[in-house]
A = this chain, B = another copy of it.
């Protein structure tokens, strides 16, 4: 039946192209557009076009922004001598939630993954290197995910950055706060042991 209402079907298909949206959710979303006022639907459509048009990469840190440079790079209070390297803009959002980190970021746009055709030249490493040219940066914290690809990317960066005289560090591994040791996997527990601290 829904297939016969072409414009509804087309809308559901379009919603289905969004990440994490299955067929049923897409159809429910399409129906809820019909329940909206014409004005609200127009606002939704405009927000899509606007976000797509306005958001671009910050020329300094390669994070997404809708201004000339992103707010972190534009902030005079941030410590420009520490760069936290992340895979994507979502990681920046997570880091910023901590409200403890006062340095700046560099967004790679992915991690090295030869299986998926992502070689180092596909990442924004060149842009990172050019930020190290003026000698102001003293530490690069690599905050890629603790996965095989994330690790490989961290290793790769460490190898090319260390000769430039900057400290390269990696986020600590260990058990999550509030987690149950009983359910921690062996590799994580091993890393937690290795990274133990005197108290």
Contacts and interface: CB of A to CB of B under 8 A. Distances in A.
Interface stretch (A37-45, A126-134, A151-159): A37-45
B20 A51 contact: no
Contacts of A102: none
Number of copies: 2
A59 to B, nearest CB: 15
Interface in A5-30: 5-8, 10-11, 13-15, 17-21, 25, 28-30
Contacts of A188: none
A66 interface: yes
Contacts of A10: 47, 50-51
A177 interface: no
Contacts of A35: 19
B8 A51 contact: yes
Nearest to A34: B55
B20 A28 contact: yes
Contact of A66 (B7, B30, B41, B49): B7
17 contacts: A6-B66, A7-B66, A8-B55, A10-B47, A10-B51, A11-B50, A15-B44, A17-B44, A18-B28, A20-B28, A20-B32, A21-B29, A33-B48, A33-B51, A38-B52, A38-B53, A41-B48
